[in-house]
Amino acid sequence: MSGPGTEVASRPIGVFDSGVGGLSVLAELKRWLPHEHFVYYADTAHCPYGERAPEDIERLTLRGVRWLEAQGCKLVVIACNTACAFSLHSVRAATSLPVVGLVPALKPAVAQSRSRVVAVFATPVTLEGSLLQDVIAEHARPAGVRVLKLWQRELVPLVEHGQADSPFTHALLKELLTPALQAGADALVLGCTHYPFLIPALWAEFGDAFALHDSGTGVAKRARALLEGAGTLNVQRRAGHTQLYTTGDAASTESVARQLHPDIAGVQPIVSSEVPA
Residues that bind ligand DGL (CB under 6 A): 17-19, 21, 47-50, 80-82, 123, 126, 156, 192-194
Report the residue number, 15 or 156, with the smaller CB distance to ligand DGL.
156
CB atoms within 10 A of CB 5: 12
From 47, 73, 84, 192, active-site residue: 192
The alpha carbon of residue 85 and the mean position of all alpha carbons in its chain are separated, in whole angstroms, by 12
Picking from 6, 36, 38, 92, the residue whose alpha carbon sits closest to that of residue 261 is 38
Is there a contact between 201 and 176 (Cβ–Cβ < 8 Å)?
no
Minimum distance of ligand DGL from residue 159's CB (angstroms): 9
Minimum distance of ligand DGL from residue 52's CB (angstroms): 8
From 47, 73, 80, 84, active-site residue: 80
Told to judge if 192 belongs to the known catalytic residues of this protein, a careful annotator would answer yes
Report the residue number, 215 or 242, with the smaller CB distance to ligand DGL.
215
Is there a contact between 91 and 131 (Cβ–Cβ < 8 Å)?
no
Burial class (CB within 10 angstroms; exposed 0-12, middle 13-18, buried 19+) of 211: middle
Residue 202: which residues within 8 A CB-CB, separation 6 or more? 173, 177, 188, 210, 212
Alpha-carbon span 229 to 225, nearest angstrom:
6
Report the residue number, 51 or 175, with the smaller CB distance to ligand DGL.
51
Told to judge if 80 belongs to the known catalytic residues of this protein, a careful annotator would answer yes
Report the residue number, 126 or 253, with the smaller CB distance to ligand DGL.
126
Catalytic residues: 80, 192
